[in-house]
Amino acid sequence: SSYHNVLEENRLLYNQVQDLKGTIRVFCRVRPFLQGQSNGQSTVDYIGENGNIMIVNPQKQGKDARRVFTFDKVFGTNVTQEQIYADTQPLIRSVLDGYNVCIFAYGQTGSGKTYTMSGPDLTTEETWGVNYRALRDLFRISKARMDVIEYEVGVQMIEIYNEQVRDLLVIHGNIRNNSQLNGLNVPDASLVPVKCTKDVLDLMKIGQRNRAVGATALNERSSRSHSILTIHVRGKELVSGSTLKGCLHLVDLAGSERVDKSEAVGERLKEAQHINRSLSALGDVISALAQNSSHVPYRNSKLTQVLQDSLGGHAKTLMFVHINPEVNSIGETISTLKFAERVATIDLGAAQSNK
C-alpha cells in the first residue's frame, strides 16, 4: 500500500540522511573556462578522490606554490547539473520530513553561483540548477505521499542589501502572510501559498523584477546583495493527525570578492563593507556550529539573524563554494577556499589518524 511505500521511503531516507556525516557540508565546484577565454593555465592542479583539490599559484615558487584543500566533495569542470543535484537530493527530501535545510551558493562574482542554483537556461531541463530540481522533487514527493500526509507549501523571497531586508514578494503592496508557516526571522515578509512548481517559478519572476527596481543593472545589484528563497512545508499525517514543519532556504550570496580599499569610495565602499561583514559573520556562525561551540554569534549580521532557526540544531546546511580556474583569480580562489575550509566540518579523529 502507499502507506508502506512511504514507510520504506522514510527508512531509506533516514539511512541517507545518517550517511551525510555531520549537519554541515561543503561542496566545492570548479567552473570551466568560458568560451573565448584562454584555455591556458589553470590554477586547479588536480582534483583527487575523497574531496581533495590541489591549487597551484603561478606567482609562487617551490613548495609554497601548491596547496591542498579538503571538502566533503569536489566537483570538476565536467560535472553535470544532474550529478550535482544527485548529491543534494537527500537534503531536499528531508525537508518533507520536517527538517530545516539551508543551501548556500558562495564565491566571487562570475564563479558560477547562479549556474549552480538556477542554471544558465530555464528552457532546457538538462541544465536546470538546484532550485528547480529541488522544487520539482518537493512537489513530486508530496504528491506521492498524498494518501498519507497532506502538505501545505508556501514561499517567501527576500533580499538583504546593506544589512536591510527587502520583501521581494510584495505584490501590488499586498503583504500576505500565514504566520503558522513562518520560519524566517522576518516579521511580516509575504508568504504566498503555492500548489505546484509553476506557481513558484511565477513568484520567482516577480521577485526578480522587484529586485531589479532601483538598481542600475540587475547583475550589479544581484552580485552585491544576498537573496533568499524559502520554501515552507507543513504536513499533516492523515491517520494520526500529527503535524510536521520543514523549510528549505536557497541562498544566493553576494559576490565574495574583496574590494580594493584604495578604489572603492562612497556607496560602493559601504556595500563592500556590509558584504564582507555579513559573509564573515556567516563563516563565524557555521564554524561555531561545526565545532559545537556553546556560543553561536547569530546576531552579528542580518543574514545569520534571518536564518537563525535553520542554522544549527537539527537543521542541515550545505554550502556550495565556487571557484574559477583563471590565473588572475588566484587571490580570490585561495581566499574562497580558505573561507570554505573554515566552515567545513572537520572530523578531528580522521584528520589525526591520517598524520
DSSP annotation of 69: E
Of 267-326, which residues contact ligand ADP (CB under 6 A)?
A: 322
Closest separation in Å from C-beta 350 to ligand ADP: 29
Angstrom distance (rounded) from CA 32 to CA 323: 9
Cβ nearer to ligand ADP, comparing 5 with 219: 219
120 lies in the site for ligand ADP, by CB under 6 A:
yes
If residue 203 lies in a helix (H) or strand (E), which one and from where to where?
A: helix 197-212
Only segment of 91-99, 103-111, 170-178, 289-297 that touches ligand ADP (CB under 6 A) = 103-111
Cα within 13 Å of Cα(173), Cβ side: 0
Angstrom distance (rounded) from CA 245 to CA 12: 20
- Whose cell is 536564518? That residue is 307
Question: Contact, 16 vs 90, CB < 8 A?
Answer: yes
Angstrom distance (rounded) from CA 30 to CA 13: 29
Cα within 13 Å of Cα(70), Cβ side: 8
110 lies in the site for ligand ADP, by CB under 6 A:
yes
107 lies in the site for ligand ADP, by CB under 6 A:
yes
Buried b (16+ CB within 10 A) or exposed e, 51-70: bebebbbeeeeeeeeebebb
Only segment of 111-119, 208-216, 270-278, 301-309 that touches ligand ADP (CB under 6 A) = 111-119
Only segment of 106-114, 190-198, 329-337, 343-351 that touches ligand ADP (CB under 6 A) = 106-114
Angstrom distance (rounded) from CA 134 to CA 91: 9
Closest separation in Å from C-beta 35 to ligand ADP: 9
* Total of residues contacting ligand ADP (CB under 6 A): 14
76 lies in the site for ligand ADP, by CB under 6 A:
no
133 lies in the site for ligand ADP, by CB under 6 A:
no
115 lies in the site for ligand ADP, by CB under 6 A:
yes
Q: At 77, list the grid cell.
A: 569542470
Only segment of 93-101, 104-112, 177-185, 197-205 that touches ligand ADP (CB under 6 A) = 104-112
Q: Tell me the per-residue interface mask from 31 to 50 with ligand ADP, x by CB under 6 A, - otherwise.
A: xx-x----------------
One-letter amino acid at 159 equals: E
- Contact with ligand ADP (CB under 6 A): which of 10, 109, 210, 335? 109
Which stretches of the chain bind ligand ADP, using CB under 6 A? Answer: 31-32, 34, 107, 109-115, 120, 223, 322
